[in-house]
Amino acid sequence: MAKAINKIQRFELSPEDKRKKDLEEVETALIENKESILELITVVNHMHDRGILSLLNGLFGQGDKVLNVLVKAADKPETTNTLKNLLLMVGTLGTINVKQLEPMLLKINSGIARVAESNETEEKTGYFDLVKSLKDPEINSAITLLMTFLKGMGEDTSGMERNTQLPEDQDLHKRESNTVNGSPSNDK
């Protein structure tokens, strides 16, 4: 006669056995991941040395509070502007052709070096000196460069602005919409 029963004696591990089992599990995990754990310890040590750990401790310990303060602080015009500028700058940086920029930058560097070398003098450059210095090949090439640059700067780039232009007016958009990306299938 097996009457219906619904009592269950749970299989309870004694605290010692539980501890032993847990330790075994941890031990296995440690051994299985020996390499990465040893490396992690080194990293943690470095973090401890530099005080990063205590910083993070405070941060995580007060998670929501800190985040709240952070977000509220960040949501101020100057901060959001910084972030905004940063995002815009990052976007613009992507469009710069470093290959072309490199010689320019070298030239600017060398100019700056010159300025740094020359001591502040009382010497003044007159109009005549200016015209005369055009003959100096170094100055002449610099002036030509600057004039080309100014020309480029005057070109209309409004079509490339993503910040102010409607999509249909953006070059990017125009270029793509003018081409059919392949033709539709001909199945009947």
Partner 1 sequence: MKSEFFEKGWIVLSESQNININGVNVIAKPNQTVLELLSDSSIEIPQVCYHPSLGAIETCDTCIVSVNGELVRSCSTRVKEGDVIDTATSDVKEAQTIAMDKILYNHELYCTVCDYNNGGCEVHNTVKAMKINHQRIPFDQKPYEVDDSNPFYRYDPDQCILCGRCVEACQDVQVTETLTIDWERQEPRVIWDKDVPINESSCVSCGHCSTVCPCNAMMEKGMEGEAGFLTGIAKNTLRPMIEMTKNVETGYGSILAISDMEAAMRDEKIEKTKTVCTYCGVGCSFDVWTKDREILKIEPHAEAPANGISTCVKGKFGWDFVNSEERLTKPLIREGDSFREAEWEEALSLIAQKFTEIKKDHGADALSFISSSKTTNEESYLMQKLARSVIGTNNIDNCSRYCQTPATVGLFRTVGYGGDAGSIEDIQKAELVLIIGSNTSESHPVLSTRVKRSQKLNGQKVIVADLREHEMAERSDLFVRPRAGTDMVWLSAVTKYIIDQGWADEQFLKENVNGLEDFIKNLEKFTIEYAVKTTGISRENLIQIAEMIHESKTVSALWAMGVTQHLGGSDTSTAISNLLLVTGNYTKPGAGAYPLRGHNNVQGAGDFGSSPDNLPGYQTVTDPESRKKFENAWGVTLPEVPGLNNHEMVEGIHEGKLKAMYLKGEDMGLVDSNINYVQAAFEKLDFFVVQDIFLSRTAQFANVVLPASPSLEKDGTFTNTERRIQRLYKALEPLGESKPDWQIIIDIANRLGAGWNYTHPSEVMEEAAKLMPLYSGVTYERLEGYKSLQWPVAADGTDSPLLYTDGFPFPDGKARLYPVDWTPPLEFPVEYDIHVNNGRLLEHFHEGNMTYKSAGISEKTPEVFLEVSPDLAAERGLNDGTLVRLSSPYGNVKVKCHITDRVKGKEVYLPMNDTGEAAINLLTSSYADKDTDTPAYKETRAKLEILKEEGTNPLPKINHRYGNPQPQIGIQVEKKWARKDYIFPGDIVKKERNQHG
Chain positions 84 to 143 lying near partner 1, rule: CB under 8 A, are 84, 87-88, 90-91
CB of residue 38 to partner 1, shortest distance in Å: 25
What angle, 0 to 180 degrees and rounded to 10, lies between the N-to-C axes of helices 63-74 and 52-61?
A: 90
E strand or H helix that includes residue 82: helix 77-93
Rg (CA), the chain: 34
Distance CA 47, CA 56 (A): 10
Using a 10 angstrom Cβ sphere, with 0-12 exposed, 13-18 middle and 19 or more buried, the burial of residue 21 is exposed
72 contributes a contact to partner 1 by CB under 8 A: yes
CB of residue 179 to partner 1, shortest distance in Å: 8
Q: Which of 45, 80, 133, 144 binds partner 1 (CB under 8 A)?
A: 80
Distance CA 70, CA 52 (A): 18
Chain positions 28 to 67 lying near partner 1, rule: CB under 8 A, are 64, 67
CB of residue 2 to partner 1, shortest distance in Å: 6
Residues that bind partner 1 (CB under 8 A): 1-11, 64, 67-68, 71-72, 74-75, 77, 80, 83-84, 87-88, 90-91, 162-163, 165-168, 170, 172-173, 177-178, 180-188
